[in-house]
Amino acid sequence: MARRVVVTGMGAVTPIGNSVKEFWEGLLEGRNGVDYITRFDASQHKTKFAAEVKNVNFDDVLDRRERNRVDLYAAFAMKAAKEAMEDAGVDLEKLNRDRAGVVVGSGIGGILSFETEHAKMLKHGPRRVSPYFVPQMISDIAAGHISIRYKLTGPNYATVSACATASHAIGDAVRLIRYGDADFMVAGGSEAAICPMGVAGFNSMQALSTRNDDPKHASRPFDRLRDGFVIGEGCGILILEELEHAKKRGAQIYAEIRGVGFTADAYHITAPAPGGEGARRAMRMCVEDGGLNLDEIDYINAHGTSTPYNDKSETEAIKALFGEHAYKLNVSSTKSMTGHLLGAAGAIELIATVLAVKHNVVPPTINYQEPDPECDLNYTPNQPQERVVRAAINNAFGFGGHNACISVSKFVE
């Protein structure tokens, strides 16, 4: 019998709150994290707004000297990991650290450090590049920092699959526990790519909304007037444990991770496969992997990026898989509030999914004003909805055709 995996701790740094409590309250309030960019002068960019993390204090995880040697994405990860570890209430002295590991990914990694050091080299020459540049920039270093901080000597690595990164990280961590390689895993994703090159790059591929006159209504998943995603930043971390390990130490249990589904579109570097075919297979796999029936799924936390193609293809995938039950589901995109956290999206959105299952409340899709005839499901428009959520799916799809879906249910002995 497969080992069961449960969620025992969570941590979040997001554009709508710098803790899980603030994040969840923000979702239920319909709090909007999108505004004009303050991180740099965006006057020459096509898009002048983003969903920035605000008022985050790193003093409890990094002193000033350490902060100067760590990219922002890794700092976000250390902040969220601290909250998650404390939330899990684990006694590190009693933890078998050889069976405790970290899988935390980043889709882009330390692009802020890359920009800074590249500018320094162009202006002053290569000898002025920081000796910390490479470890600041690489996408695995957040996982490394967390492992070092807590002396977790089990499996330790990063995943990179664009906007599916965090979901792949969490799915891998689930499997490491299931297969007996670990009992306790820190898993998630972190991203900090709101910078001149990041915004310019996404602008050049026409992926971002350019609603500069009304940024608060720019992230509008499934709405007919959607014109692109809003770039966000932040981190989500979950503590995953083997069930008996969690029970033995008296841990709180938020929910059970039931199944994982990974597929590829094998179609195009950015566009989804026609009809959401790869997404459909990934959702089916994660439901079947969890031993669930399709009619037990009550909620889907959608990838829902607010781009014309993604929202339409995801809707098609849901309808193709669930048939008539698709119209009994609640679907929502929390990206309407947080923007798109790229490689961190799957983690913070899985936290939202776990809390929806725990509290029987579905967070809304805000800015939903004009229905799209091609997107005709219940997207939980503008207000949260109370309903029993027995089981739910979180979807994450990345450039390159990467699809990662995770199913969650209420914990039952």
Enumerate the active-site residues: 163, 303, 340
> H/E element holding 402?
strand 402-409
Phi, psi of 57 (to 5 degrees): -115, 120
- Helices 111-124 and 196-204 pack at an angle, to 10 degrees, of 110
- What are the structure tokens assigned to 192, written together? 């900090």
- What are the structure tokens assigned to 345, written together? 């999206």
> Are the C-beta atoms of 9 and 259 separated by less than 8 Å?
no
What's the rounded Cα separation, in Å, for the pair 136 and 110?
6
What's the rounded Cα separation, in Å, for the pair 97 and 200?
43
What's the rounded Cα separation, in Å, for the pair 413 and 411?
7
Phi, psi of 58 (to 5 degrees): -100, 5
C-alpha radius of gyration, the chain, whole number: 20
Burial code (b: 16+ CB inside 10 Å, e: under 16) for 324-349 equals: ebbeebbbbbbbbbbbbbbbbbbbbb
> Are the C-beta atoms of 235 and 191 separated by less than 8 Å?
yes
DSSP class per residue in 363-399: PPBTT--SBBTTB-S---BSS-EE---SEEEEEEEET
What's the rounded Cα separation, in Å, for the pair 16 and 3?
35
Strand partners, 100: 184
DSSP class per residue in 327-353: GTSEEE-THHHH-B-GGGHHHHHHHHH
> Are the C-beta atoms of 333 and 365 separated by less than 8 Å?
yes
Looking from the CA of 390 toward its CB, the CA atoms found within 13 Å total 10
What's the rounded Cα separation, in Å, for the pair 174 and 164?
15
